[in-house]
Structure 1
Amino acid sequence: MTHSANSAGRQGEATLDRIAWIRLSSVTLPLATPISDAKVLTGRQKPMTEVAFLFVEVETEQGHQGVGFGYSKRAGGPAQFAHAKEIADELIGEDPSDIGRLWTKLVWAGASVGRSGVATQAIAAVDVALWDLKAKRAGLPLAKLLGAHRDSVRCYNTSGGFLHAPVEEVLENASASLAGGIGGIKIKVGHPDSKQDLRRLTAVREHIGDDVPLMVDANQQWDRPTAQRMGRAMEDFGLVWIEEPLDAYDTQGHAALAASLDTPVATGEMLASVAEHYELIRGNAADIIQPDAPRIGGITQFLKLAALAEHHNLQLAPHFAMEIHLHLAAAYPIEPWVEHFDWLEPLFDERLTISDGRMHVPARPGLGVTISEQARAWTRATHEAGVRP
């Protein structure tokens, strides 16, 4: 195989393997029920009916394989696939172990479109695949490769508490989640009628009892005065956190709110880079930080952010994508939370084990997931680079 002069100049006798082949797949996951949160009720978005995924499969000359994925809700999936398609050739002939260098190489390959958003979200799927490959080659679960602090992580359910569901359904979903071993319940708030939020929250707290961890999520739909009023009104519910009470980029507003409430403030899921999260951390704008590895550029970037968060003694509760975030949360020194969504289960052959309020790191190497035949059937486009060994 011919390798570029640039690659050869960076590789020596320590390079034991090279990337030979990459396949990108654009997969659209249909949701059984249209999903509505506060963004829908305020008219900013339409109900969500599907989630777009970018899957990346990597194989080396020696036959080692890795799989990674990223996603986009409502819009952006085709753009992620298109960007990944443009830069995929940059990896052929490279050492798959040099993940940090390869992340930088891919960023510079598409530098004109920036270092956040769609560009780095496309890179994220590649980055996750390379970490999966590295852990598989080592014969270790990814959490163990990174250096786990625990073999299971506290978990809470979100998918049963959306605003489109009547309160009776939310209560049934909460009971089912707790019976299935999940440790906490999160419900959506941000209804235009704040009394409706408080009625739903009261019903859920009375239903699950005072000892079950309970969180709420306003999805950025409150202004500062409303967030202050609702935050004070919710103090007596013993919430683990109030999530995204304000616009994701309102650092000053979040900081003021966090300083004024006993209930912790959590945010960060919508930020698209480590730099954006750094502004949040520097401004003391969150008690609990909620990064999303596929949104900020993958595992390489997540680890940088985790180091910053630990330095500031922040709690961690990664957003969505539990198949990835379970491993990253397990490697975080301060006891974290991981979010349970069952939406992604049809995409994989394996299931994660949940019991006693915790999600357990699988013994399988890497992420511990393989792409299902159903995911293959939902594939809308593919692209290959290199030659499969």
Structure 2
Amino acid sequence: MKHAATPVADLRGEATLDSIAWIKLSSVALPLATPISDAKVLTGRQKPMTEVAFLFVEIETAQGRTGIGFSYSKRAGGPAQFAHAKEIADNLIGEDPSDIGRLWTKLVWAGASVGRSGVATQAIAALDIALWDLKAKRAGLPLAKLLGAHRDSVRCYNTSGGFLHTPTEQVLDNATASLAHGIGGIKIKVGHPDGKQDLRRLTAVREHIGDDVPLMVDANQQWDRPTAQRMGRAMEEFGLVWIEEPLDAYDAQGHAALAASLDTPIATGEMLASVAEHYELIRHNAADVIQPDAPRIGGITQFLKLAALAEHHHLQLAPHFAMEIHLHLAAAYPIEPWVEHFDWLEPLFEERLTISDGRMNVPARPGLGVTLTDQARAWTQATHEVGKRA
């Protein structure tokens, strides 16, 4: 005998305190002051980056509670995230916003034909993050405290001052400014077609900041296995915190061989789009430092699953980009992590994160602790609403 599906309303008991009444999606294009180039541009794989596309989600409940979340895409993919979110967002109307794990699964099944990674889960990520922001606000806690913080500040390093389009002298000036601002480490891009140029640039930075300042490099997947091996050996003398993305993001075996052969730790993971893809890195022992990106892998719900796996394997954690989200998640990771400082997103939010003594401080504001600026509204290219505001 077939049984009809039980309506959501019939499943509610006294534990259901609220329901989602209204959702607004916004597609926002953040222009960059200077076109950005890394090794992918120098090798002809990509064009310089001129903007970052964001999908913002605002949620309001029947009781007037609110949450905000976002995902993003660099160069291409932003409109696709927005389009998929438009198709599935109405599945949340009437649901209890506290049941985040169940709602994540519901959204995945709403778009099951397009899979469980990439654009599909990046669209879900913005909704998921908004739900976590709402839950923490309901509790009156910063998200880190809701999750259970291990610390109230996280080591931070700067990346935005060391891109390959930036002349070496400017990279040095940028490093000085970052350290004066209280940032704890410096990361520069490598991956020039001529590796000797990378080594000259790295030598200049190390000599400029001194041996005691944490220094990282990021090759953005541009080396093949032999080149990565040679460059990794040549860079051992610089005492790097890590070498990031030396190989193709999906080359787990290559990363594993490199990690086993070098003293310098290997970091990777930012370009992967699901927990399952990260698990391939973990089971191959392919990374000393795992670098997940919550908006890319499906939001906070998925990030927490990955963090549990990473902790079980005693991995260091250094989430990619989106410090406004990742500061909270890193603060809740048991092993001392890093968070990446980018000031690109500052025009989007009214609030600022504070930095002191090499660490980024978890804000006391409830939830993520961010609200959109008028400028973010002005950069909005499309919106879509479902439900009705309370």
Do they fold alike, i.e. is TM over 0.5? yes
CA distance in 2, matches of 1:380, 1:260: 48
Structure 2 counterpart SS, 1:228: helix
Q: CA deviation at 1:5?
A: 5.0
CA distance in 2, matches of 1:11, 1:353: 42
CA distance in 2, matches of 1:11, 1:282: 40
After superposing on structure 2, the runs of 4+ consecutive aligned residues of structure 1 that deviate more than 3 Å are none
Q: CA deviation at 1:6?
A: 2.8
Structure 2 spans left out of the alignment, 5+ residues? none
Q: What's the RMSD between the two structures over aligned residues?
A: 0.7
1:226 counterpart residue number: 227
Alignment of structure 1 residues 299-338 onto 2, 5 Å? 299-338=300-339
Structure 1 counterpart SS, 2:73: strand
CA distance in 2, matches of 1:9, 1:68: 29
Task: State yes or no: 1:99 paired with 2:107.
Answer: no
Alignment of structure 1 residues 304-383 onto 2, 5 Å? 304-383=305-384
Count of residue correspondences: 386
Alignment of structure 1 residues 215-294 onto 2, 5 Å? 215-294=216-295
Q: CA deviation at 1:12?
A: 1.5
1:160 counterpart residue number: 161
Structure 2 counterpart SS, 1:234: helix
Task: State yes or no: 1:129 paired with 2:130.
Answer: yes
Structure 1 spans left out of the alignment, 5+ residues? none
TM (norm. structure 2) is 0.98
Structure 1 counterpart SS, 2:120: helix
CA distance in 1, matches of 2:379, 2:7: 37
Letter in 2 for 1:108: W
2:181 counterpart residue number: 180
Alignment of structure 1 residues 101-116 onto 2, 5 Å? 101-116=102-117
2:86 counterpart residue number: 85
2:299 counterpart residue number: 298
Q: CA deviation at 1:11?
A: 2.1
CA distance in 2, matches of 1:379, 1:282: 41
Q: CA deviation at 1:7?
A: 1.4
Residue deviations 1:120-176 (CA, integer Å, cap 9, x gap): 000000000000000000000000000000000000000000000000010000000
Residue deviations 1:159-197 (CA, integer Å, cap 9, x gap): 000000000010000000000000000000000010000
Q: CA deviation at 1:9?
A: 3.7
CA distance in 2, matches of 1:99, 1:189: 40
Structure 2 counterpart SS, 1:366: coil
CA distance in 2, matches of 1:176, 1:6: 57
Q: CA deviation at 1:10?
A: 3.3
Residue deviations 1:296-341 (CA, integer Å, cap 9, x gap): 0000000000000000000000000000000000000000000000
CA distance in 1, matches of 2:13, 2:190: 55
CA distance in 2, matches of 1:303, 1:66: 19
2:385 counterpart residue number: 384
CA distance in 2, matches of 1:296, 1:205: 34
Alignment of structure 1 residues 7-156 onto 2, 5 Å? 7-156=8-157
